[in-house]
Each structure stands twice: as structure tokens, then as C-alpha cells.
């Protein structure tokens, strides 16, 4: 499976992946998913929001156990964030069949569309639409950097944008969703464990800061006469770091666009996107308010207009304790006593977090020795990935089989 996925959307210069929603690379990933489903005799389904499902058993029976993740990527993302959960899901099913497991509940493998939001700016579009956390009207207003709207992109990829919307009937058939994911930190490396169970996801969001000044000649405009929004932006980036450090949170400006974007022109507009996350809502609010305040104060002194728009927000997620405990019990059973499965919090967002408001969800993490993610350097060893498959197979067997 990894060999098939390896070339799809790979940027040869960086070695990272550019698998953005509703692009050619995304279509290739989707074709791969469908082929994997059909080759295993699973019933393939594409839902109204562009999420792909592969069913074993009759979904109408209800109380299904679902596993999977996403196949799209951030710009120059690593190979594991997303695909590890989908590949492991198919591999775990193969393992269960090898064990001769008898299923008492329907099982599905899912590929959620547009988890990273790399193209349209909003993460987890497929699961948010399904859960009713994003309305079709809001989704229809999303645009990529070239001005292409989400409906236009969907249409070009052969998906009906008028069909999108909440899917409560689909969610009502699911009794549990378990997402396996590469860890995006070093907690497992530091504790010396291959596998962990997620406890919670930090509240997180994305804010767009538009700094407007005045375009002018870089050679002839005296410094005192300038209204340069790049300075306000730079000051705001430093403020973000200070506020995050003070609060024990994180704040990142990782994307910027500049107009007119000329080497010898003072910019008229600098647009920067802030991603900020903290352990609790109050801390996150304090951090973002502090950053905005610093941006306004600096801008006021230098004639810069500022607009701040919150583009997305995900509240804190505490994964369901009953499912978490059940997984810990299953993974503890019949194993060497020195195999521990720690329970970890994370600052990364996931479809499992979005769906946790509607259905019981849980996550398994696979050790990442450097903790690097959203980068071509993201890594997990083959042994750890195989331990992840075994753990996922054990969990699915414990939940869905006799
Ligand atoms: O950005 C995130 O946390 C996620 O990987 N989409
Ligand atoms: Mn990611
Ligand atoms: Mn992911």
C-alpha cells in the first residue's frame, strides 16, 4: 500500500506531499482508496460531503465500528499524517481476516475529505459538514488562493457541491470511531512506548490578520513618510511568540501573502494567518487577545489599518472515557506486562475531534521518534507502524467481533 501511495502528489524538490482537496493528487488518492476497498470485497460508498467509506457488513444494522483517517496533506507534508490511519485500517482488516475473526457489528474504513484545509483554509471540511459544524452556505463561500470556490473545485472534480450538508443518518449508524494517527510530538519517544491512546485535543483556531498601509517606492520614500504594513506584521509575529511563551501555549504565523509583492515596493497589504492552540479555552482567548492588542497598538502608531477575522475554531475535545477505557483494557489484555499504552493529550486537530461531538470517538497514536510532523521529515519506524496495525486490529476485534 505504501508503494502505491508513495509517488502521489510528491514534490520531488522537498520530498514532501502536496495532496490538496479536490486536486489531481487528491483524485489519485481517492482512486487508490476505492481500489483498496473493492479488492477486499468491501462495499464502496462516496458520501454527500466527499468522504469515502468501505463497508464490511450492512451499515443499516447500526452500531458500526469505523476506523480510518485522511489522505490529504499540508503543503510539503510528511507521508504518515493521515495515510498511516487509512493504510493501518486496511492492514488491520487483513489481519482480522487472517485471524478468522467473526464480526458481530458492521465495520467501515473511512477517508475523510479535506482534513488539513491546505487549499481552502478550513481544516476538517468533510467531517465538519457531516457533523453539521459547517453549513453548506459557509462551505460554498470558501475560496482557494487562486479565487476558485469550493463548489467550483468540487464540480471540476466531478462532485456535486449542491449535495453537501449534514449527514445525521450516517452518523447515527456509527457506534464508535477509532482514528489511528502518527504522533505529532515526542511523548511516546520519551516514555519509550510504541503506542498511545489520546486523551484530549487542545482548543485551536486560525485567525487572518490583514494589515493595510500604503504602497510606495522602496528607493525614494523616506522612512518617516512610510506606512509599511510589513513592520506591523513583523511586530505581531514577535508578539505572538511572547504571548504564547507567557501562557504556555503555541502561536504560529506560517502563511503570509503580500501585495503587490514586489522587491522594490513598500507593501500595501500584508495578510498573515495565525494558528494558535492552548490547553484550555481561557488561555487561548488570552493569547489571541494579547496578540491582537499588540498588533493594534503598533498599527495605530504607524498608520496601519488592521482587520482580524477568525476563520476557524475547534473547541477543546475530551475523548469519551468509556471508549478510551475499553481500548486500554483491550490493549492491556494478554500482553506482556511491560507493554504500556500511555494516554496522551495533543495540540493537533483531527476528524475524530470533530466527530466527538456527535458519536463516541477515540484515537491511537504511533510513536514518531523526532516528533516532526507537517514536514517531509515526519517519520515512524516500520516496527512501530506494525505495532500500530496490531493494536488497531486488537481494538477492532475487541469492539466488533465475537
Ligand atoms: O492542523 C492540525 O492540527 C491538523 O493536522 N489538521
Ligand atoms: Mn495534519
Ligand atoms: Mn492528520
pLDDT digits (tens, 9 = 90+) for 11-26: 999 999 999 999 999 9
Give 333's pLDDT tier (boundaries 50, 70, 90): confident
- Contact between 339 and 192 (Cβ < 8 Å): no
Residue 338 has pLDDT above 60, yes or no: no
d(CA 223, CA 203): 41
Residue 401 CA to ligand 1 center (angstroms) comes to 32
Beta bridge partners of 211: 270, 306
The label of the residue with cell 487483513 reads 94
Q: What pLDDT sits at residue 208?
A: 98
Residue 337 has pLDDT above 60, yes or no: no
Please list all protein residues whose beta carbon sits less than 5 angstroms from ligand 3, which is an ion: 81-82
Residue 112 CA to ligand 1 center (angstroms) comes to 13
pLDDT (tens digit per residue) in 200-248: 999 999 999 999 999 999 999 999 999 999 999 999 999 999 999 999 9
Residue 53 CA to ligand 2 center (angstroms) comes to 20
Q: Where are the beta strands (DSSP E) in 189-342?
A: 195-201, 204-212, 216-217, 250-259, 265-266, 269-277, 305-314, 317-318
Residue 334 has pLDDT above 90, yes or no: no
Q: Where are the beta strands (DSSP E) in 262-353?
A: 265-266, 269-277, 305-314, 317-318, 343-346
d(CA 34, CA 12): 26
Say how many CA atoms lie within 13 Å of 344 toward its Cβ.
27
pLDDT (tens digit per residue) in 72-131: 999 999 999 999 999 999 999 999 999 999 999 999 999 999 999 999 999 999 999 999
Residue 97 CA to ligand 3 center (angstroms) comes to 27
Instruction: Please state the length of the chain.
Output: 402
Give 335's pLDDT tier (boundaries 50, 70, 90): low
Q: Which of 171, 126, 138 is nearest to 312 (CA)?
A: 138
Alpha helix (H) ranges present in 24-81? Answer: 24-39
Q: What pLDDT sits at residue 336?
A: 60
Q: Ligand 1 — pocket residues by CB below 6 A?
A: 115-116, 123, 348-349
Residue 361 CA to ligand 3 center (angstroms) comes to 15
Closest ligand 1 atom to 117 CA = 6
Closest ligand 1 atom to 81 CA = 5
Identify which ligand lies nearest to the alpha carbon of 312: 1
Percent of the chain with pLDDT over 90: 97
Ordered domains of the chain (ranges, CATH) = 2-202+316-400 (3.40.630.10), 204-314 (3.30.70.360)
Burial class (CB in 10 A: 0-12, 13-18, 19+), 258: middle
Q: Which of 349, 365, 375, 378 to mutate to test the pocket of ligand 1 (most atoms within 8 A of CB)?
A: 349
3-state secondary structure of 84: helix
Q: What pLDDT sits at residue 314?
A: 95
Residue 197 CA to ligand 3 center (angstroms) comes to 15
Percentages of the chain per state (helix, strand, coil), in multiples of 5: 40, 25, 40
Residue 339 has pLDDT above 80, yes or no: no
Nearest CA to ligand 1 atom 6: 116
d(CA 35, CA 41): 10
pLDDT (tens digit per residue) in 278-317: 999 999 999 999 999 999 999 999 999 999 999 999 999 9
Cis? peptide before 260, omega within 30° of 0: yes
Q: What is the mean pLDDT of the chain?
A: 97
Amino acid at each position: 500500500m505504501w508503494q502505491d501511495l508513495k509517488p502521489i502528489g510528491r514534490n520531488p524538490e522537498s520530498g514532501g506531499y502536496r495532496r490538496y482537496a479536490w486536486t489531481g493528487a487528491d483524485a489519485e488518492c481517492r482512486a487508490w482508496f476505492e481500489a483498496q476497498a473493492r479488492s477486499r470485497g468491501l462495499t464502496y460508498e462516496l458520501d454527500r460531503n466527499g468522504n469515502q467509506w468501505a463497508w464490511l457488513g450492512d451499515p443499516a444494522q447500526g452500531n458500526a465500528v469505523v476506523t480510518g483517517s485522511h489522505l490529504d496533506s499540508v503543503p510539503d507534508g510528511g507521508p504518515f499524517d493521515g495515510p498511516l490511519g487509512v493504510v493501518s485500517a486496511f492492514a488491520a482488516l487483513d489481519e482480522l481476516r487472517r485471524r478468522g475473526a467473526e464480526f458481530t457489528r458492521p465495520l467501515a474504513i473511512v477517508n475523510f475529505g479535506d482534513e488539513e484545509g491546505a487549499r481552502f483554509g478550513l481544516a476538517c471540511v468533510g467531517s465538519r459538514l457531516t457533523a453539521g459544524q459547517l453549513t453548506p452556505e459557509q462551505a460554498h463561500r470558501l475560496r482557494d488562493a487562486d479565487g476558485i470556490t469550493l463548489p467550483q473545485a468540487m464540480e471540476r472534480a466531478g462532485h456535486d457541491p449542491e449535495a453537501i450538508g449534514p449527514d445525521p443518518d450516517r452518523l447515527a449508524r456509527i457506534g464508535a470511531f477509532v482514528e489511528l494517527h502518527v504522533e505529532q510530538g515526542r511523548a511516546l519517544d520519551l516514555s519509550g512506548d510504541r503506542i498511545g491512546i489520546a486523551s484530549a485535543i487542545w482548543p485551536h483556531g486560525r485567525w487572518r490578520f490583514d494589515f493595510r498601509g500604503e504602497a510606495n517606492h522602496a528607493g525614494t520614500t523616506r522612512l518617516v513618510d512610510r506606512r509599511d504594513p510589513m513592520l506591523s506584521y513583523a511586530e505581531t509575529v514577535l508578539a505572538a511568540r511572547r504571548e504564547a511563551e507567557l501562557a504556555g501555549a503555541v502561536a504560529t504565523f506560517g502563511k503570509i501573502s503580500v501585495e503587490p509583492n514586489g522587491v522594490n515596493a513598500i507593501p500595501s497589504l500584508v495578510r498573515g494567518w495565525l494558528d494558535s492552540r492552548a490547553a484550555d479555552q481561557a488561555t487561548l482567548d488570552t493569547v489571541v487577545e494579547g496578540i491582537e492588542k499588540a498588533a493594534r497598538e503598533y498599527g495605530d502608531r504607524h498608520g496601519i489599518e488592521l482587520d482580524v477575522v477568525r476563520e476557524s475554531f475547534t473547541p477543546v475535545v475530551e475523548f469519551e472515557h468509556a471508549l478510551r477505557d475499553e481500548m486500554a483494557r483491550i490493549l492491556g489484555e494478554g500482553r506482556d506486562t511491560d507493554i504500556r499504552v500511555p494516554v496522551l493529550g495533543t495540540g493537533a486537530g483531527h476528524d475524530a475531534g470533530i466527530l466527538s461531538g456527535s458519536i463516541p470517538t477515540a484515537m491511537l497514536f504511533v510513536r514518531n521518534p523526532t516528533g516532526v510532523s507537517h514536514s517531509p521529515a515526519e517519520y515512524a519506524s516500520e516496527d512501530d507502524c506494525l505495532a500500530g496495525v496490531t493494536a488497531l486490529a486488537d481494538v477492532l476485534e475487541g469492539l466488533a467481533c465475537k
